[in-house]
Amino acid sequence: MARRTARPAWRFAIDVGGTFTDCVGVAPDGQLKVFKTLSSGQTKGVVADVIDTSTIVDPARCLDPPGFWDGACLRFSGHKAEFTVSRHNAANGALTVSPPLPSSIRRGVSYEVSTGDEAPVLGIRHLLGLAARDAIPPCEVRLGTTRGTNALLERRGAAVGFVTTQGFGDLLLIGDQARPHLFELSVRKPAPLASHVMEVQERLSADGAVLTPVDRDLAREQLSGLRSRGVESLAVALLHAYRNPIHELIVGEIAREVGFREVVLSHQVSPSIKIVPRAESTVLDAYLNPILRQYVERIEQRLGGGAESLLLMTSSGGLVSADRFSGKESVLSGPAGGAIGFSTTAQRAGFPRSIGFDMGGTSTDVSRFDGRFEMEYESRKAGVRIASPTLAIETVAAGGGSICGFDGVKLTVGPESAGSDPGPACYGRGGPLTITDCNLVLGRIAATRFPFPLDIAAAQSRLAELSQRIKEQAGYSLSLEELAEGLIAIANSHMARAIRRISVSRGYDPQDYALAVFGGAGAQHACELASELGMRSVVIHPLASVLSAYGIACASETRHASRTLLQPLTELNDASLGALFQELVEQAGEATLSGFVVERSLELRYQGVETSITLLDPVDMEEIAARYEAAHEREFGFRQSGRAIEVVTARVTLRQAGGPPPEVRITRGWRAISATPQRLRVRNAWRDVIPWERVPTGGPSGTTSIVGPALICESMTTLFVDEGYRAEFSPDGSIVLRSNSHCEELSLHVERTSQSQEAAPDPVRLEIFNNLFASIAEQMGETLRRTSVSTNVKERLDYSCALFDSRGELIVNAPHIPVHLGAMSETVRWVLADNPDLQPGDVVLTNDPYRGGSHLPDLTVVTPVFGEEGTIQFVVASRAHHAELGGIVPGSMPPFSRTLADEGVLIRNLRVVQHGVFQEQKLLQLLTTVAYPSRRPADNIADVMAQIAANQTGVQLLDQLVLTHTLPAVQQYMRFIREAAAAKVRQALSAIPDGEFRCVDFLDNGSPVSVTITISGETARVSFAGTGGVLATNLNANRAIVTSAVLYVFRLLINEEIPLNGGVLMPVTIDLPECLLNPPAHADPAQCAAIVGGNVETSQRVVDVLLGALRLAAASQGTMNNLTFGDTTFGYYETICGGSGATSSAPGADAVQVHMTNTRLTDVELMEHRYPVRVRQFAIRRGSGGHGAYRGGNGIIREIEFLRPMTASILSQRRGPYAPPGLDGGDPGQLGCNTLVRSSGEVSNLGAAAQVSIETGDRIRIETPGGGGWGTVFNETSG
């Protein structure tokens, strides 16, 4: 990069958004100018007059520089002909065109005019006041763009070939094996960006040693073939290239020799462990780089050499030169500019800690700043994993254009948006009801200041239609104003939930931050949102509507470099650490580049866990360990002194030391716009308020304090100042809103909850309470994840948290693991029945499969919530899978257990906290004094303490909820929410003809699993009569497992978002006789049937027969393919994906977790780094899905080689003779197969369940089943 010694005369910062492009120009004298235009480069106008056959007049063109449109192309609405502007007269707004105008062009006709420039160039020319033929003078251009994001969302990138190691060509199709949506019957996985795949004969070991060299001749032949098939861009991601890039460099060299211009190598994109995110990021760069390069080249060409430098904004919040800009860095380009903008302006306004709130038309972005931004080094955007430094920005689908509706039970806001065309109803183009319409009807938008006329009658009409539909379908009457207020309150609850995710859920209190508001729609919601979160201050910069562009003007040029180490901290010393950072500085760029500062960081974690913490400025080795443990305790609530610390990654950032941000010269005073008041709806009453605006420069000083309610009209936005707020100025001219009573809940619909009991639910409050309850469960889950010790909870997310009413009825269950759904309610009811004398300060621990538990490793902690009078008002509970809880094999998942005692420690009913005192010794005694005790009791105790802490979070939040909304209201809406879910299920059942629906399938041992579902009107009876007897093996289930399966299936009937609670089963009766699904309980666990296989295997069969009876889907793979291996020093456990069943409208999905599980698979590179194994093949098992009109999904092939002696176990089903059946004439999916291949070459079939001693060089090959097909084969459709 060339050094710049002098600042250009003009500086421009431009944010190209999806609809609008915002331009900020800084003149040589420091004066700041702003321009907003459409991102299409088109400018819209309306004919005000027709002077003659060649000339129209539009007063808006008086605002453009003279001659600006000379030579431009003009089109009139409804006309195909194009006209050329021969002269633009800015004095009167006249445009003279040729050829002559048709007679149909008259006053009121709309038009579009374009110079052919990209929007950033158009903005620069406009701010400079240039005529069409004037050259752009030397200037600095900074650009943030959604061009890459749009190409990604619309799948309009380059044709990409993906090159990877032999045996892993399906890596991007399989991903982490989790299905994107838990309750989607026809599973839809994001399609990979690469259109072609090539496997290279090569292999490296986990430490980077060459096992198989690249076959150069074969690679050249394969690459030439890709080139001839139209592949434009190449993404190369080979296993362990982050350790040793030699093979990627060879393949890249050959690719360029055969003619590929765009060749992206994964070790250069992200030199970090984990092949899946690294490969996806590499493909993303290959997919977007050509698009972005062409875009930047067009801009540079149109600038005509005027740009002395062109810098682009990256997702990490820094600027890079155009030649360094890549696809993966472009995805959050604009939002990153907003983050820099809000943090910079909030600091200047006196708020060092702030939460950014950027509310646009379709979505809202929120992020947190407290001196530094939180960074993510692996994220997922638009269905693609990105392994690159990215600002932690949370996006929620709620914006001004969010469509408002009613689903027959509750009101909905989003996620669909009206977009810019047709836009909200008030745009007058027949659009739907949106949040913008609601704000307009309530008087929160100054319609006279809008850039075009707004149709308030259209907005009122849409509200009236919705109000009538609510009255007809729910019997509840709402005035138009009440409905508009309620819809805004729902939108606010969505956005508040997003802010809690980036603050409360990560251990930060939003009350310690100012709310920094920007974006076009945020100012109308700022006060109510701050009130809901208890935030004391709101800050709104005068450039809030173009703050992303202003943030780009404030950003610094940056460069990054990193290296994955994966070595113990003790192996480093001060000298080696200093040398490492110096190498990274040199790798990042010119180490002595004038004006750049170096920022260093280390990513650390305890050995054996995946969650890491980044330590900034690590210079003294003696302090690094202590600093890490202190940071771990602060974030997760504990430290593990003495446990080895691993250095994951070293990073450096070179950041240009920037000067002060551009100064905004603006007045600090208000004046009344008009003496005529405007009607404003505030808390269920209309008020007359005078709208305010800033006094013009040089005018009288004006008012400097405004008490709400009020409207303040800023440039391109309207600020609603709620009652209880005062608006003042900060020294930099920002508006600061301060609450007189920040804890007061200002929502009308909250005030109503103190009224008397209601016969029918208010559909507004129904949705608000649903969000509130769900948010409590989410925050409980985050507390558990942050404070737990085990990888199982922290990384695999094998836990659930839930809220219950005083009788143990499920109100909300955060949907993590399907087999937990519904089961905890039975646990809670048993706890309440077994402990009638529970007192405040008591907490119960249980894992009893015969009292609501699933299997022994799933420990449930139950905490009652007491009122002042000493009665139980609610219950909160958390269930977590403990990786070790005793039993005859490590990991507590024995394939051949015969009794419950074989499977681990049974905890039936322990008051683990009594009168507020943790009973650690009692728990330790239970864990260690049985026949097969826990091998990790300290970890068990630590995770139980984390579950107790999670429950306590729920208790505190419920107490706050009652304080705000009153106990009767909270309890009543708990009931209403259950009834709402029940109503949705009744609607679904009523659409099914009355009758009996039967299905029977078989376990591999021939035991039948039989179900009869009797539909009668809006109710269903589910009977498992005919199911086989209790088994001597561990494939027995229990009532809790069956209940979870039934709840899951009936939830699948509803193809929309509903509250997940016990109401789903209110119209359903379950008849469960004693059988393998319901073995009898005994006091002695040695007399109880074994159950571990029933939880993971039989549960899948139960779902298959339920879906088969209702004819909703063909059978899926019907197993979790549980694989464990290890020795005395380690243990590893995974479940493996397969094919899902086809439905009547879609094929099954390949290589996906189905039904009762959705756990993720450990990345191949991470697995080989941690364990003495080598994955030989990880591929889709093509042809394993059943044929049909819609084909069943394919299973996978997973072959693992063992590098030292150990023991391996597999517990699975669908190995024979009963294949996953198809439906309606569809063929069954293929059976799975487990094969042991000895190093000697001996091959043996392991059957469905096995435990084998492994020698070095032995391999296990697991071929998972496919899903059944649907329909007779005529023209088969596959996924």
Residues 6 or more apart in contact with residue 1252 via CB below 8 angstroms? 1207, 1208, 1209, 1236, 1246
Q: How far apart are alpha carbons 969 and 273 in whole angstroms? A: 51
Identify the pLDDT of residue 307. 65
> How far from 664 is each of 126, 448, 520, 661, 911, CA to CA, in Å?
19, 26, 19, 9, 62
Scan for tokens 């659409």, then name that residue: 991
Q: How far apart are alpha carbons 355 and 362 in whole angstroms? A: 20
Between 216-228 and 246-257, two packed helices, what is the crossing angle to 10 degrees? Answer: 50
Count Cα neighbours of 4 within 13 Å in the Cβ-side half-sphere: 16
Identify the pLDDT of residue 1279. 52
pLDDT in tens, 740-764: 754 344 343 444 444 456 667 888 8
Phi and psi at 597, nearest 5°, equal -110, 155
Q: Which of 200, 196, 193 is nearest to 161 (CA)?
A: 196
Q: How far apart are alpha carbons 605 and 730 in whole angstroms? A: 42
Scan for tokens 């070459």, then name that residue: 1241
Q: How far apart are alpha carbons 528 and 186 in whole angstroms? A: 39
Question: H/E element holding 988?
Answer: helix 967-990
The secondary structure of the chain in percent helix, strand, coil, rounded to multiples of 5, reads: 30, 25, 40
Q: How far apart are alpha carbons 815 and 801 in whole angstroms? A: 9
Low-confidence stretches of the chain (pLDDT < 50) are: 1-5, 591, 742-755
Which residues does residue 568 pair with via DSSP β-bridges, in sequence order? 646
Pairing of strands 402-406, 411-417: antiparallel
Pairing of strands 514-518, 537-540: parallel
Residues 6 or more apart in contact with residue 932 via CB below 8 angstroms? 886, 887, 888, 901, 902, 904, 905
- Burial class of residue 990, CB neighbours in 10 A (0-12, 13-18, 19+): middle
> How far from 651 is each of 389, 556, 596, CA to CA, in Å?
10, 18, 16
Residues 6 or more apart in contact with residue 595 via CB below 8 angstroms? 656, 657
- Burial class of residue 806, CB neighbours in 10 A (0-12, 13-18, 19+): middle
Q: Is residue 757 classed as helix, strand or coil in its secondary structure?
A: coil
Q: Give the chain's end-to-end CA distance (angstroms, integer).
A: 47
Q: Tokens for 1019?
A: 């109710």
Q: Which of 1104, 1114, 1105, 1155 is nearest to 1271 (CA)?
A: 1114
Count Cα neighbours of 865 within 13 Å in the Cβ-side half-sphere: 26
Q: How far apart are alpha carbons 94 and 115 in whole angstroms? A: 16
DSSP E strand boundaries for 1003-1043:
1008-1016, 1019-1023
Q: How far apart are alpha carbons 15 and 689 in whole angstroms? A: 35
Q: What secondary structure letter does DSSP report for 1140?
A: P
DSSP E strand boundaries for 99-187:
110-114, 139-145, 160-165
pLDDT in tens, 800-859: 899 999 999 999 987 667 777 777 899 999 999 999 999 999 999 999 999 999 899 999
Identify the pLDDT of residue 504. 80
Count Cα neighbours of 445 within 13 Å in the Cβ-side half-sphere: 23
Cis peptide preceding 763, ω within 30 of 0? no
Question: H/E element holding 456?
Answer: helix 456-474
Which residues does residue 537 pair with via DSSP β-bridges, in sequence order? 738
> Taking the model in full, what pTM does it have?
0.89
Q: How far apart are alpha carbons 882 and 904 in whole angstroms? A: 11
Q: Is residue 124 classed as helix, strand or coil in its secondary structure?
A: helix
Q: How far apart are alpha carbons 471 and 700 in whole angstroms? A: 53
Q: How far apart are alpha carbons 1174 and 382 in whole angstroms? A: 32
Q: Which of 167, 5, 113, 39 is nearest to 1178 (CA)?
A: 167
Q: How far apart are alpha carbons 399 and 549 in whole angstroms? A: 20
Q: Tokens for 598?
A: 């170096």
Inter-residue contact 855 to 1092 (CB < 8 Å): yes
Identify the pLDDT of residue 4. 45
Q: How far apart are alpha carbons 131 and 72 in whole angstroms? A: 11
Q: How far apart are alpha carbons 143 and 365 in whole angstroms? A: 19
Rg of the chain in Å (alpha carbons): 32
HEC letters along 280-339:
HHHHHHHHHHHHHHHHHHHHHHHHCCCEEEEEEECCCCCEEEHHHCCHHHCCCHHHHHHH
Identify the pLDDT of residue 2. 39
Inter-residue contact 640 to 826 (CB < 8 Å): no
Which residues does residue 141 pair with via DSSP β-bridges, in sequence order? 12, 310
Residue 667: count of CB within 10 angstroms of its CB: 18
Inter-residue contact 850 to 919 (CB < 8 Å): no
Q: What secondary structure letter does DSSP report for 994?
A: S
- What domains appear along the chain, each with residue ranges and CATH number? 10-150 (2.40.10.170), 157-301+320-329 (3.40.50), 333-398+502-538 (3.30.420), 404-493+749-754 (no CATH), 558-656 (no CATH), 670-747 (no CATH), 1114-1279 (no CATH)
Identify the pLDDT of residue 621. 85
Q: Tokens for 30?
A: 């420091």
Phi and psi at 111, nearest 5°, equal -150, 165
HEC letters along 904-973:
CCCCCCEEEEECCEECHHHHHHHHHCCCCCCCCHHHHHHHHHHHHHHHHHHHHHHHHHHHHHCHHHHHHH
Between 763-787 and 937-965, two packed helices, what is the crossing angle to 10 degrees? Answer: 150
Identify the pLDDT of residue 593. 58
pLDDT in tens, 108-137: 999 999 999 999 999 999 999 999 889 999
Inter-residue contact 908 to 864 (CB < 8 Å): no
Which residues does residue 237 pair with via DSSP β-bridges, in sequence order? 164
Q: How far apart are alpha carbons 978 and 969 in whole angstroms? A: 14
Q: Which amino acid appears at position 1224 of this protein?
A: D
Q: Tokens for 323?
A: 């030649």
Q: Which of 409, 181, 178, 183 is nearest to 1047 (CA)?
A: 183
Inter-residue contact 738 to 723 (CB < 8 Å): no
Identify the pLDDT of residue 748. 38
